[in-house]
Amino acid sequence: MTTKARRSKLEAHRSPLLISFSGLDGAGKSTQIANLQQFIERRGLSTKLLAFWDNVVVLSRYREGFVHKVYGSERGVGAPGQPVNRQDKNVRRWYLTIVRHALYLLDAIHLTMVVGEARRSGADVIIMDRYIYDELANLPLTNFMTRIFVRMVNAFVPRPDVAYLLDADPVEACRRKPEYPITFLYLCRRSYHRLARMLGHMTVIPPLELADALREVESAFAILLADEQQALESDLDAAQAA
């Protein structure tokens, strides 16, 4: 079999890869996603980008309207010199925690459907801008029942081939996107790290200079791609030998 024909067979047997990015607001997800898309497409692979809030979250319009009306959350995204006062996930009320468990479960169920549909789109790599992990990190992970809930959700949602967690200094994140109080960002960072330890499969990118962080993300994907290629080669060899 020629190299070209072999490559065609490998492409035909490849399942779309699923990549997710999670982290604090202002951690640099948009920059990393754009760079990884270019990195992937330079290798002749196609990508499909999905935004968790736009493509997955259930009743997103009503949920957003609720926080604006009830808690006076300001609209828009904070930027240097243009801070906004968001009042949504940083509002911690016991009744909201109960509601969040229910809504996040619905989001997780819808996520499985969205990813399934995306895998039939023909793209080689599906990239998720945020994932269910960002919602789970907003729950009280020190609570025993919440930890059971997190493990249940993690058991049935599609597991990304690489689930990036972009760690960030809360002060720097707040400087880039001044939306939430700095104390809340420190709390979120601890929660993300606790979640990563619970799940055991997130790829944590530490706070680095941009160029170094880009290389870390590219390296993790390149390793995945090499492993995937080797596995496909082995499967094809085994099929030919049978």
pLDDT score recorded for residue 235: 61
- Please state the separation of Cα 111 from the chain's center in Å: 12
In this prediction, residue 66 carries a pLDDT of 79
At residue 173, the pLDDT reads 93
Mean pLDDT of the chain: 89
* Residue 73, pLDDT score: 73
Of the chain, the percentage scoring pLDDT greater than 90 comes to 70
**Domain boundaries, position 143:** 3-241
Q: Which residues contact 66 (CB under 8 A, 6 or more apart)?
A: none
Q: What percent of the chain has pLDDT over 70?
A: 87
pLDDT of residue 9: 42
In total, how many domains does the chain have? 1
- Confidence (pLDDT) at 236: 62
| Contact present, 164 and 39 (Cβ < 8 Å) | no
Over the stretch 139-166, which tens digit does the pLDDT of each residue have?
A: 999 999 999 999 999 999 999 999 999 9
Interval 60-83: pLDDT, tens? 888 888 777 777 776 767 677 777
Structure confidence at residue 240 as a pLDDT band (50, 70, 90): low
* CB-based burial, 149-171: b 16+ in 10 Å, e otherwise: bbeebbeebbebbbbbbbbbebe
Looking up residue 133, the CATH number of its domain turns out to be 3.40.50.300
Res 11: pLDDT: 52
The type of residue at 52 is F
- Burial string for 193-202 (b: 16+ CB within 10 Å, else e) reads bebbeebeeb
User: CB–CB of 25/168 below 8 Å?
Assistant: no
pTM of the model: 0.89
Cβ burial of 217 (10 Å; 0-12, 13-18, 19+) is buried
Arithmetic mean of pLDDT, 175-190:
94
pLDDT at 239: 61
Q: Which one has a higher pLDDT value, 71 or 222?
A: 222
What distance, in Å, lies between the first and last C-alpha atoms of the chain?
16
Cα separation, 65 vs 51, in Å, equals 19
Res 13: pLDDT:
46
Query: Is the pLDDT at 6 greater than 70, yes or no?
Result: no
